[in-house]
């Protein structure tokens, strides 16, 4: 057991932790069944942004990275929790299979995808990652290993999907890949004049398989929320070439002064005007379409040594336009811009206790951390709550217990299940302690 300084992807906060490496399900069970008090959390690739995978003891699942079985007729796959999306793509894209749901990075483990109940550009049609999971093995606080599905240990299933690792350690999972005939995506891009037009376009193209919009979060007035909306469909013919690892890398933490209202505004203006036509089409490989930032390794260093936080919230559909406009107006007034301002449409919520999506619109923004940021984000929290929304636990590094409990109505049922299984005496993170779980 070695001491390591770890952080989430936002590089805030940092903690000294005892890092536990395990290489088999049996070792996990043995470690949990040993007598004595424990306070630990599982950790995969460390791509949750805040403190949800930080604890006194951190158990790395990266050595649990083997494939178990695959059905070439149905696409059903069972693999260990430490297998990454990148590894699955490398193996299965050449065989004509793709992920049913993918977040904005492929450097995520299967265990992390379930614990965060990740979503992608197709949530409005195909839900979260967990909606494609049929079962998984979970190691409980006492070392017992149980199977969880919608029919077996269903309460544990719905608490673990989106439960941020607080119910146990996911060991392996079974889910279904989707068939593809090409590694290429047909992308249609629409340039919108403001937020109202952007949301209208989302509605117009609600049957598009993939949809996402980049928003200029510093534009104001009649141009408030002007966007580039990008739709995508799998192409029926073409090669099945997998992605290549990017060679570009940010070598060190950049001076934080480089990111200021002027540089962000200049970038946003250039990015919005890079598309000269109202509608453009192209064929693009899945890698830059789904994972545009993965080609720049250690891009989190762009925000400087103090780090950054991603503020991602969802607002119900009925309040979408008014709520988004209110928040964007507040951001414009604060002069706190974000290079990455990503808007997506969500479909209906699932039955998982702490899953983030609800039917509506979600916006994710990156802010470098400074002395006044958290006070500003608390102002945004109040607006989000006023419109019936909530924040994404996977991106969170500073939400208050009050905000969490007001916006996640199933938190008490989640806490009760943790108590019943003994998880509350074993599995903790900095985030869970901060949120009163």
Evaluate whether residue 85 is within a structural domain: yes
Note if the pTM is more than 0.85: yes
Which two structure tokens, joined as six digits, stand for 103? 């977040």
Q: Judge contact between 421 and 27, C-beta under 8 A.
A: no
Per-block mean pLDDT, blocks of 10 residues, the chain (437 long)? 86 93 92 86 95 95 96 97 97 97 97 98 98 98 97 98 98 98 96 96 96 90 93 93 79 68 63 78 95 86 88 95 95 82 96 98 94 96 98 97 98 98 96 97
pLDDT in tens, 53-92: 999 999 999 999 999 999 999 999 999 999 999 999 999 9
Is 302 found in the same domain as 282? Answer: yes
Is 131 found in the same domain as 269? Answer: no
Is 208 found in the same domain as 93? Answer: no
CA distance 236 to 248: 31
Q: Judge contact between 174 and 137, C-beta under 8 A.
A: no
Is 316 found in the same domain as 195? Answer: yes
Is 373 found in the same domain as 358? Answer: yes
Question: What does the pLDDT read at residue 94?
Answer: 97
Question: What does the pLDDT read at residue 346?
Answer: 98
Evaluate whether residue 170 is within a structural domain: yes
Bridge-based pairing state of the strands 40-43 and 360-368: unpaired
What is the domain range of residue 374? 184-398
CA distance 186 to 401: 43
Question: What does the pLDDT read at residue 299?
Answer: 80
Evaluate whether residue 72 is within a structural domain: yes
Domain count for the chain: 2
Of 127, 136, 161, 124, which Cα lies nearest the Cα of 352?
161
Evaluate whether residue 407 is within a structural domain: no
- CATH number of the domain encompassing residue 174: 3.30.465.10
Q: Judge contact between 230 and 201, C-beta under 8 A.
A: no
Q: What is the share, in percent, of the chain residues with pLDDT greater than 70?
A: 95
Cβ neighbors of 351 (< 8 A, separation 6 or more) are: 158
Evaluate whether residue 289 is within a structural domain: yes
Evaluate whether residue 109 is within a structural domain: yes
The single residue listed with the structure tokens 């195909």 is 126
Q: Judge contact between 125 and 202, C-beta under 8 A.
A: no
Is 354 found in the same domain as 236? Answer: yes
Is 168 found in the same domain as 194? Answer: no
Is 225 found in the same domain as 76? Answer: no
What is each CA distance from 403 to 101, 156, 168, 434, 435, in whole angstroms? 28, 25, 25, 11, 9
Question: How would DSSP label each residue in 229-242?
Answer: EEEEEE-SSS----
Is 114 found in the same domain as 197? Answer: no
Bridge-based pairing state of the strands 248-249 and 296-297: parallel
Cβ neighbors of 120 (< 8 A, separation 6 or more) are: 101, 102, 103, 104, 210, 290
Cα 92-96-97 angle, rounded to 5 deg = 55
Question: What does the pLDDT read at residue 304?
Answer: 84
Of 21, 158, 28, 33, which Cα lies nearest the Cα of 422?
33
Using the CB atoms, write b or e for 297-325: b if 16+ within 10 Å.
bebbbbbbeebbbbbbbbbbbebbbebbb
CA distance 272 to 229: 11
Question: What does the pLDDT read at residue 407?
Answer: 98
Is 250 found in the same domain as 116? Answer: no
The gap between the terminal CA atoms of the chain, to the nearest Å, is: 26
Helix (H, G, I), strand (E, B) or coil at 323: helix
Residues paired with 27 in a beta bridge: none
Cα 322-325-328 angle, rounded to 5 deg = 150
The single residue listed with the structure tokens 């699942």 is 61
Is 280 found in the same domain as 132? Answer: no
């Amino acid at each position: 057991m070695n001491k390591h300084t770890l952080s989430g992807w936002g590089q805030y906060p940092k903690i000294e932790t005892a890092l536990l490496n395990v290489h088999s399900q049996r070792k996990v069970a043995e470690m949990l069944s040993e007598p004595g008090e424990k306070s630990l959390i599982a950790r995969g690739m460390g791509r949750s942004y805040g403190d949800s995978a930080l604890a006194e003891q951190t158990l790395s699942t990266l050595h649990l990275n083997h494939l178990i079985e695959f059905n070439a007729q149905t696409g059903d796959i069972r693999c260990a929790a430490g297998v990454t999306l990148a590894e699955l793509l490398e193996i299965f894209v050449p065989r004509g299979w793709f992920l049913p749901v993918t977040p904005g990075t492929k450097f995520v483990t299967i265990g992390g995808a379930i614990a965060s109940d990740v979503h992608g550009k197709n949530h409005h049609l195909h839900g979260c990652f967990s909606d494609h999971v049929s079962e998984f093995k979970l190691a409980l606080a006492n070392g017992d290993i149980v199977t969880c599905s919608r029919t077996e240990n269903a309460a544990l299933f719905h608490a673990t999907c989106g439960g941020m690792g607080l119910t146990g350690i996911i060991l392996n999972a079974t889910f279904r890949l989707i068939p593809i005939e090409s590694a290429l995506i047909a992308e249609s891009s629409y340039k919108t004049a403001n937020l109202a037009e952007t949301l209208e376009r989302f509605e117009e193209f609600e049957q598009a398989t993939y949809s996402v919009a980049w928003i200029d979060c510093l534009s104001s007035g009649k141009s408030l929320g002007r966007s580039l909306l990008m739709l995508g469909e799998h192409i029926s013919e073409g090669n099945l070439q997998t992605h290549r690892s990017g060679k570009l890398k940010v070598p060190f933490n950049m001076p934080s002064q480089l990111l200021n209202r002027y540089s962000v505004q200049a970038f946003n203006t250039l990015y919005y005007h890079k598309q000269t036509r109202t509608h453009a089409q192209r064929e693009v490989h899945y890698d830059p379409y789904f994972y545009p930032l993965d080609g720049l390794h250690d891009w989190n260093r762009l925000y400087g040594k103090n780090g950054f936080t991603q503020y991602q919230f969802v607002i119900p559909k009925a309040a979408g336009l008014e709520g988004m406009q209110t928040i964007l107006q507040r951001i414009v007034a604060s002069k706190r811009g974000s290079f990455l301002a990503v808007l997506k449409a969500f479909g209906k919520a699932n039955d998982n206790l702490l899953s983030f999506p609800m039917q509506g619109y979600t916006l994710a923004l990156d802010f470098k951390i400074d002395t006044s940021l958290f006070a500003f984000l608390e102002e945004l929290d109040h607006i989000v709550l006023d419109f019936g929304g909530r924040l994404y636990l996977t991106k969170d590094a500073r939400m208050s217990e009050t905000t969490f409990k007001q916006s996640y109505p199933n938190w008490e049922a989640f806490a009760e299940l943790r108590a019943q299984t003994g998880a509350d005496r074993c599995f903790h993170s900095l985030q869970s302690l901060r949120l009163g779980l």
